[in-house]
C-alpha cells in the first residue's frame, strides 16, 4: 500500500515517458471517429476551417500535443469531443455563467471544454484554464481564435500552487475538473481536492468526470503506467469528500453516478476490465 506520507507526483511519470513513441495502447493510430458532428460544426463555424481541411487539421494538432505530453486524451483523441456538454449539470453551468458566475477548468489541456462553453453562449472573460503543462497555444492553433477567445490561462501545479493560482482562492463559482483526479492515490486526490476547496466559496460546485471502478479500489503501479492510483465508485467518492470537508472545515454534498460508454461517446476500446466513467457534482454547503 501507498504510505500517505509519500510525496505525490504532480503529474504521472508516463505523461512524459512516451512522447517519442506511439506503440502504447492509448495511442490510437486513427482518431477520425472522435470527430463528432458537434465538434465538426464548431470547427467549421467558430474556427472557420473548411470542411475538407478538418481531419488533417485535427490530426496535426494531435501530433503537436503528443510531442509535449503523452496523455491518454491525446493518444485516444478524446479532446475532439468536449465532455462538459455531456455532464448532467451542463445547462445549469451555462445559465450560471450567463449571469456572471466564474469557472475554472483545472487540467484544461487545450481548452476544448472552455470553447464548448463559449460557443454555447458563455462569456469567455469569466473563464479560467489551469494546467501544469502549457498546451494553451496548441488550443489557439486548434480553434484559430486567438483574436476572440478571452479566457485566462494559468500555468500551475494544483498540488503546489503558485501565486497566480492562489489569486483565484475563494473566487470560483464552478470548478470543472475532468480526467485528472484519478491519476493519484487516495491521498493524492485528497490533497488535490483540498486545493480545489481553496478556490471555492459556499455555493461553489465541483463538477466533472473521472475514471473509476465498479467497486472502488487501489490500482498498483505497472511497468507501463508506472504510478499507483485509486479508482472510485460513487460511495468512495462521497466518503473522500466527507474527509476533505472535515480536513478543511467545509461541508460538501456529493452526487455521483456511473455513465455508460455510449453516453460518453466511447467504445470498449477506450476502457478495460471493470473501469467505468464516474460523473460527479460536489456542492459546497458551507
| pTM (two decimals) | 0.94
In the prediction, which pLDDT does 8 show? 64
- Rounded mean pLDDT of 222-235? 82
Indicate the pLDDT class of residue 13, thresholds 50, 70 and 90: confident
pLDDT tops 60 at residue 2:
no
In the prediction, which pLDDT does 1 show? 34
In 3D space, the residue among 182, 174, 118 whose CA is nearest the CA of residue 150 turns out to be 118
**pLDDT, mean over the chain:** 94
pLDDT tops 80 at residue 86:
yes
pLDDT digits (tens, 9 = 90+) for 256-268: 999 999 999 998 8
pLDDT tops 70 at residue 243:
yes
**Residues 132, 8: contact at Cβ < 8 Å?**
no
Indicate the pLDDT class of residue 3, thresholds 50, 70 and 90: very low
- Rounded mean pLDDT of 70-80? 94
pLDDT tops 70 at residue 90:
yes
Report, in angstroms and rounded to the nearest whole number, the Rg of the chain calculated over CA atoms: 18
Indicate the pLDDT class of residue 12, thresholds 50, 70 and 90: confident
Longest dimension (CA), the chain: 54
In the prediction, which pLDDT does 5 show? 44
Domains of the chain: 82-284 (3.40.50.150)
In the prediction, which pLDDT does 233 show? 98
Amino acid at each position: 500500500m501507498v504510505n500517505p506520507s509519500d510525496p505525490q507526483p504532480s503529474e504521472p511519470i508516463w505523461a512524459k515517458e512516451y512522447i517519442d513513441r506511439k506503440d502504447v495502447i492509448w495511442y490510437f493510430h486513427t482518431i477520425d471517429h472522435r470527430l463528432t458532428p458537434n465538434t465538426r460544426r464548431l470547427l467549421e463555424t467558430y474556427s472557420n476551417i473548411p470542411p475538407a481541411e478538418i481531419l488533417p487539421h485535427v490530426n496535426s494538432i494531435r501530433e503537436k500535443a503528443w510531442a509535449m505530453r503523452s496523455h491518454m486524451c491525446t493518444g485516444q483523441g478524446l479532446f475532439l469531443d468536449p465532455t462538459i456538454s455531456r455532464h448532467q449539470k451542463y445547462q445549469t453551468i451555462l445559465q450560471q455563467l450567463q449571469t456572471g458566475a466564474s469557472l475554472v477548468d483545472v487540467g484544461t489541456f487545450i481548452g476544448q471544454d472552455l470553447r464548448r462553453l463559449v460557443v454555447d453562449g458563455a462569456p469567455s472573460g469569466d473563464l479560467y484554464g489551469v494546467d501544469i503543462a502549457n498546451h494553451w497555444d496548441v488550443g489557439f492553433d486548434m480553434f484559430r481564435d486567438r483574436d476572440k477567445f478571452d479566457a485566462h490561462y494559468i500555468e500551475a501545479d494544483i498540488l503546489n500552487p503558485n501565486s497566480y493560482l492562489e489569486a483565484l482562492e475563494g473566487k470560483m463559482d464552478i470548478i470543472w475538473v475532468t480526467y485528472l483526479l484519478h491519476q493519484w492515490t487516495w491521498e493524492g486526490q485528497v490533497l488535490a481536492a483540498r486545493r480545489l476547496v481553496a478556490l471555492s466559496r459556499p455555493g461553489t460546485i465541483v463538477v466533472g468526470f473521472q475514471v473509476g471502478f465498479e467497486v472502488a479500489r487501489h490500482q498498483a503501479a505497472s511497468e507501463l503506467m508506472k504510478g499507483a492510483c485509486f479508482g472510485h465508485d460513487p460511495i468512495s467518492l462521497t466518503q473522500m469528500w466527507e474527509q476533505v470537508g472535515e480536513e478543511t472545515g467545509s461541508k460538501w454534498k456529493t452526487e455521483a453516478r456511473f455513465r455508460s460508454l455510449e453516453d460518453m461517446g466511447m467504445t470498449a476500446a477506450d476502457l478495460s476490465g471493470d473501469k467505468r466513467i464516474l460523473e460527479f457534482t460536489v456542492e459546497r454547503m458551507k
